[in-house]
A and B are shown apart, each in its own frame.
Chain A
Amino acid sequence: MKWINTLKLLFLFSIFNISNAQNYYLYVASESDDTVSLLKFSGKNIEEKERISVGSFPTEIEGPHGITVDPNGKYWYVTLAHGNPFGKLIKYSTETNKVVGETTLGLFPASMQISKVTGFLYCVNFNLHGNMKPSSVSVVDAETMTEITQITTGSMPHGSRISSDGLKQYSVAMMSGELFEIDALSLKISRKLDLEDHSKMNHDKMNMGKMKHSTVKPTWVIPHPTQKILYVAGNGSDEIIEVNLDSWKITKRIKTEKGPYNVEISPDGKYMVATMKSVAKTSVWDLKSGTLVKTFDNSTSVSHGVAISSDSKYAFISVEGIGGEPGIVDVIDLKNQVLVDKVEIGKQAGGIAFWKKEI
């Protein structure tokens, strides 16, 4: 009889554990493998649940670059950078990981996000090819998968992120050193900010006409979830730039390791996490105190993207690798500031998007 009671206790204990076990799911694009990996993290271990081939030409590299999940978690979207010549946006069901729609975008469509208000997806057309010229942000109705318009911004736009109220889209132009704010409803540029003083630069020898060039080389922008500020990664100037959204002025420049690339802020607004592409590291700041908490060595070279779990507990870092090396996703426990686990995926792991937390 005693052993039956013990079994009952064990059963209850296991039920308790199961009910408290939380799994985290995310999607990561591997640009040089034409694959997207669905990853599951248990809180201790991360594993690849599925590797999905994307694209339509088995013998051409189509380059899945940006990835995002819609606000209700029903669909994920990936951009294919290379096309004929325009890239594509492909929509997949999170239930089946099968294609449900697609549309053509501009040259080298890259990062993107969906506004919870308009339901539109705002995607930068990175266009890093040849002579630098202004590119655009494509606006797509994710419901009908129609590209509604292309809004011309700066040269090599990157880092499309939406404000938490869903009403503004922000991107930076890497080669012209500008920050753009687009009104998500009017689909027009509402504000633009030079991230450096272009008047002191001599462009005479660059044969670029009226085109600006940048030493800051901004690659990412992330608005704070609750405060009227945003942060820009200065990939060329090794800094993260804080911009006040009310005054639309730069309020702080935070020096970083070499080559900050992607930046994200935890949903609770506590942590800022940035990849340092050039040195294969990831830095974490406490935004309340404004201090750098820790810089992690990533598991391979060329640190790329950041996704943070909805409960603000974990940061997932995509790391590209070089040549034939696999891409890797590192998991950082933000509370304890430790690297928890890693998983190998396809080559040149880049775009990364958190999907859901599940009990």
Chain B
Amino acid sequence: MKFLKLLSLSLFFFKIGFSQDKMIVSDLDNLTLNLGEIFKPVSKVILSDGSTGDCMNIIYYNKKGVFSSAKSITFDRSEGTLKANEPGTHEIVAVCIDSQGKRLSKTFNVNVNYPKIKEIKLSINDENIYIGNYVKLIYEITDELDNKRMVDYWNYENASKYFSKVGVTLSSSNKKVKIDESNNILAAEEGKTSIVVFFDGVSAKIDLEIKMNPVVKLDLTSDAFNARSGDVINFSATAYDRKNNELENIPFEFSFTGKSFDKSNSASGLILEDGRFVGDVPGKYIISAKIGNITTSKVVNIFPRNVKREISNVGRGIVNDRHTSDFWIFEGVDGGDYGVTGTWGSDGTAFFWDVSNPSNLKKIDSVQVDARTVNDVKVSQDGKICIISREGASNRKNGMIIIDISNPRDVKIISEYTKNLTGGVHNIFIDNNHVYALSNGERYYIINIDDPSNPYEVGMFELNKEGQSIHDVWIEDGIAYSSNWRDGVYLVDVGNGIAGGSPSNPVSFGNYSYDSGANHATFPFKSKSTGKFYTILGDEIFPNGVNPNGTNETAGFLHFVDFSDLNNPIEVARYELPGHGSHNYWIKDDILYVAMYTGGLRVVDISGDLLGDLYKQDREIGYLLTGSPNGYIPNDTMVWGAQLYKGHVFYSDFNTGLGAAKVSSNKPDNSKTNQYIN
């Protein structure tokens, strides 16, 4: 026993004596490079006794990867060099492979200097600066590589990030202005002053003239005194001098305060620089216009919008042996009303329905194709042709299937089309005699179906950029609206004429994208009540991925973009349902019918001007949770899409199939909800 102990002890010390810690040392460690600089790193392995270790091969890489968004540091492996492409601190990994095939790695921080600022220009938009007003300074910064960046007063979130990196100080030549810790400049006294800005050793100066406020009186008018939540009130301010003359070009500042009628609620709303105001919550609001130390106010009452209506489920076409995907309701050539639904992750079946009686949805036929998912189904305007998309075909050719639905009770496959569509077709749209089919989520092809047995490609649209990605396309009035995830919506002339486009020559003429990069669907919307033109961009987000054991968490919302000026689209409003994400939707007569996945089918009043948070404004008319005890996943609402058709709201649900709902003219019975209210 003693012998064994001695043996193990000696083995322990033998191991200590002969195993050495080793590490990579490199001139990459805390290396600082200038933008564009090329550097050849030298690295080696050092053992704990200071001797050099075995490092047969050394490989360097950027920890951000190789995708286009991560090309901050790139490598020329032939030359063994790296190049600094973006300012900031970057992690570079060195991997050493020794002659025994063992690897050792270490991460080094490499700093790339921001390019030095070459020039700063300061400007202001306001013609006049009056005592009591803030100076809205605009910075135009040009670096030594001639990159320009604009930092204006209202995007201080981005500005503060930049300022914290380059270091900025502001000073004034006298006390005519006061500069606070956040670099806001308040005009304090009449007279001339200069503002000097220092950015990383480079300075710029702007001379200002602070004027006495000529305004002695302000008038504030509005186009309404009382309004409903969500209604936009337009305020207009007029300024007068001592002689009661009206003054022009006065930079008014609008603001509001308010109190909710409901004591436990908070008044909230939005007011823009041009005086447009919307109240979200019923209450009394005080709207103020200010110029210098002269203010005036006006009180408006915001009353309940009062659009709630009863929504009831009229009928169901339960599909509970598989998931249901998209659907389309149409008038058949015989004048009857029909529907088609796709299936997801199943056996490539699409079902056809008689929906003439929405309370009795009847499955009347089906087709099965070589696919696992029929994600999208669309029907031609004349009700004769249905096209279904294919994903998961056993030969991986996917594409789409053209079906004769002249008799929806006996549908017949006419042809299969797979050219350039092998990556899977996720969404399609039929517009007159052309099909717009997505290909591998990268682009869409335009296919002529004059002769549905011989479809042929006539055009293609793509963004032509690395990582281009598309999820949906919708055609209206000869304009294709494609939803391109991080690249947002693209408006493409495919026959409208606005940009000289056609199906064989699609021409892009408008684009809008937003930060989340989750643009999944787009619907054009010409407001019946205002004449304004919007595109409504929907997100699709599953923040926690797939939950195989229960309800999936969904997120994202609808972005309302005022596209009245094609060259200057402005996001003005959102519909966001707390806790639930958006999917597909439909608009008719200023009413939005939206499938909010786990949040059910939602019906929303989008009449009038749209501004701010539409959900908060109580514009929701009603909702329906579509889960069913008989669903594929019981009682799990997961609404896929909605379509208003002949007075009924049809919907498809991932777990329950097809359904029909009715929005009643009756207000909902709140007697139980409000039973404690006098």
Chain A positions within 8 Å of B, measured between CB atoms, are 31-34, 53-61, 63, 82-86, 103-104, 107-108, 116-119, 128-131, 141, 143-144, 146-150, 165-166, 185-188, 301-302, 320-325, 347-348
B189: interface (CB < 8 Å):
no
**Residue pair A32, B372 in contact (C-beta under 8 Å):** yes
B433: interface (CB < 8 Å):
no
**Residue pair B103, A118 in contact (C-beta under 8 Å):** yes
B468: interface (CB < 8 Å):
yes
Chain B residues with CB under 8 Å of A108's CB are: 423
Chain A residues with CB under 8 Å of B650's CB are: none
**Residue pair B422, A129 in contact (C-beta under 8 Å):** yes
Chain A residues with CB under 8 Å of B105's CB are: 141, 143-144
**Residue pair B392, A348 in contact (C-beta under 8 Å):** yes
Chain B residues with CB under 8 Å of A103's CB are: 65
**Residue pair B373, A32 in contact (C-beta under 8 Å):** yes
The verdict on A185 contacting B57 (CB below 8 Å), with A84-B441, A86-B67 known, is yes
A85 to B392, CA, bound (A): 16
Q: Chain A contact residues: over half helix, strand or loop, or mixed?
A: loop
Chain B residues with CB under 8 Å of A301's CB are: 394
A110 to B543, CA, bound (A): 25
**Residue pair B103, A324 in contact (C-beta under 8 Å):** no
Chain B residues with CB under 8 Å of A131's CB are: 420
A267 to B423, CA, bound (A): 35
Chain A proximity of B69: nearest CB distance (Å): 10
Chain A proximity of B85: nearest CB distance (Å): 15
**Residue in B95, B394, B442 whose CB lies within 8 Å of A141:** B95
**Residue pair A146, B65 in contact (C-beta under 8 Å):** yes
The verdict on A85 contacting B67 (CB below 8 Å), with A33-B345, A149-B77 known, is no
Which 7 A-B residue pairs are closest in the complex by CB-CB distance?
Answer: A324-B347, A129-B423, A32-B372, A53-B548, A56-B545, A32-B392, A129-B440
Q: 14 A–B contact pairs at CB < 8 A? A: A32-B372, A32-B391, A58-B547, A58-B552, A59-B325, A61-B373, A61-B391, A117-B103, A129-B420, A147-B66, A323-B368, A324-B347, A324-B348, A347-B392
**Residue in B59, B422, B441, B486 whose CB lies within 8 Å of A148:** B59
**Residue pair B545, A144 in contact (C-beta under 8 Å):** no
List CB contacts (< 8 Å) of B324-383 with chain A. 325, 344-349, 368, 370-373, 375
Chain A proximity of B10: nearest CB distance (Å): 30
The verdict on A104 contacting B97 (CB below 8 Å), with A61-B424, A129-B442, A149-B77 known, is no
Since A58-B547, A61-B375 are in contact, a sample of 17 more A-B pairs with Cβ atoms closer than 8 Å, ordered by chain A residue number, is: A32-B345, A32-B372, A33-B372, A58-B546, A63-B392, A82-B440, A108-B423, A117-B101, A129-B422, A146-B65, A147-B66, A148-B61, A165-B101, A166-B101, A185-B97, A325-B347, A347-B372
Chain B residues with CB under 8 Å of A61's CB are: 344-345, 372-373, 375, 391-392, 424
Minimal Cβ-Cβ distance residue in B for A145: B65
**Residue pair B542, A57 in contact (C-beta under 8 Å):** yes
Minimal Cβ-Cβ distance residue in B for A129: B423
The verdict on A149 contacting B66 (CB below 8 Å), with A54-B546, A58-B552 known, is yes
User: How many residues from B make CB contacts under 8 Å with A?
Assistant: 64
A324 to B323, CA, bound (A): 12
**Residue in B59, B396, B441 whose CB lies within 8 Å of A185:** B59
A165 to B100, CA, bound (A): 11
List CB contacts (< 8 Å) of B562-621 with chain A. 583
A188 to B59, CA, bound (A): 12
Chain B residues with CB under 8 Å of A57's CB are: 540, 542, 545-546
Minimal Cβ-Cβ distance residue in A for B419: A130
The verdict on A323 contacting B370 (CB below 8 Å), with A86-B67, A129-B440, A141-B61 known, is yes
Chain B residues with CB under 8 Å of A320's CB are: 394
**Residue pair B348, A146 in contact (C-beta under 8 Å):** no
B467: interface (CB < 8 Å):
yes
Chain A residues with CB under 8 Å of B57's CB are: 185-186
Chain A proximity of B627: nearest CB distance (Å): 15
B560: interface (CB < 8 Å):
no
Chain A residues with CB under 8 Å of B468's CB are: 85
Chain A residues with CB under 8 Å of B626's CB are: none
A257 to B224, CA, bound (A): 82
**Residue pair B394, A117 in contact (C-beta under 8 Å):** no
List CB contacts (< 8 Å) of B525-553 with chain A. 540, 542, 545-548, 552
Chain B residues with CB under 8 Å of A85's CB are: 440-442, 467-469
Chain A proximity of B97: nearest CB distance (Å): 6
**Residue pair A147, B344 in contact (C-beta under 8 Å):** no
Interface centre among B373, B423, B583 (most CB of A within 10 A): B423
Q: Mask for B64-77, Cβ within 8 A of A = 1, else 0? A: 11110000000101
A310 to B249, CA, bound (A): 83
A96 to B57, CA, bound (A): 34
Chain B residues with CB under 8 Å of A348's CB are: 372, 392, 394
Chain A proximity of B607: nearest CB distance (Å): 31
A347 to B368, CA, bound (A): 16
The verdict on A117 contacting B372 (CB below 8 Å), with A61-B424, A128-B396, A347-B345 known, is no
Chain A residues with CB under 8 Å of B545's CB are: 55-57
A63 to B368, CA, bound (A): 21
**Residue pair A117, B422 in contact (C-beta under 8 Å):** no
Chain B residues with CB under 8 Å of A147's CB are: 65-67
Minimal Cβ-Cβ distance residue in A for B397: A128
Interface centre among A58, A141, A186 (most CB of B within 10 A): A58
A150 to B67, CA, bound (A): 9
A141 to B95, CA, bound (A): 9
Chain B residues with CB under 8 Å of A188's CB are: 77-78
Chain B proximity of A280: nearest CB distance (Å): 11
Minimal Cβ-Cβ distance residue in A for B485: A84
A130 to B422, CA, bound (A): 7
**Residue pair A323, B348 in contact (C-beta under 8 Å):** yes
B63: interface (CB < 8 Å):
yes
Chain A residues with CB under 8 Å of B542's CB are: 56-58
**Residue pair B392, A144 in contact (C-beta under 8 Å):** no
Chain A residues with CB under 8 Å of B485's CB are: 84
A166 to B486, CA, bound (A): 39
A147 to B548, CA, bound (A): 28
B640: interface (CB < 8 Å):
yes
Chain A residues with CB under 8 Å of B552's CB are: 58
Chain B proximity of A351: nearest CB distance (Å): 14
B654: interface (CB < 8 Å):
yes
Minimal Cβ-Cβ distance residue in A for B545: A56
A322 to B469, CA, bound (A): 29
A131 to B372, CA, bound (A): 24
**Residue pair A130, B67 in contact (C-beta under 8 Å):** no
**Residue pair A55, B546 in contact (C-beta under 8 Å):** yes
Chain B residues with CB under 8 Å of A56's CB are: 542, 545-546
Chain A residues with CB under 8 Å of B67's CB are: 86, 104, 147
Chain A proximity of B542: nearest CB distance (Å): 6
Q: Mask for B430-467, Cβ within 8 A of A = 1, else 0? A: 00000000011111000000000000000000000001
Chain B proximity of A85: nearest CB distance (Å): 5
Chain B residues with CB under 8 Å of A104's CB are: 65, 67
Chain A residues with CB under 8 Å of B547's CB are: 58
Chain A residues with CB under 8 Å of B61's CB are: 141, 146, 148-149
**Residue pair B66, A82 in contact (C-beta under 8 Å):** no
A116 to B440, CA, bound (A): 34
Chain B residues with CB under 8 Å of A82's CB are: 423-424, 440-441
**Residue in B97, B325, B423 whose CB lies within 8 Å of A130:** B423
The verdict on A144 contacting B63 (CB below 8 Å), with A130-B440, A348-B392 known, is yes
A86 to B420, CA, bound (A): 17
**Residue in A148, A186, A321 whose CB lies within 8 Å of B66:** A148
Minimal Cβ-Cβ distance residue in A for B518: A84
Chain B proximity of A38: nearest CB distance (Å): 14
Chain B residues with CB under 8 Å of A322's CB are: 370, 394
A192 to B396, CA, bound (A): 27
Minimal Cβ-Cβ distance residue in A for B78: A188
Q: Mask for B390-426, Cβ within 8 A of A = 1, else 0? A: 0110101000000000000000000000001011101
Chain A residues with CB under 8 Å of B137's CB are: none
A338 to B394, CA, bound (A): 27
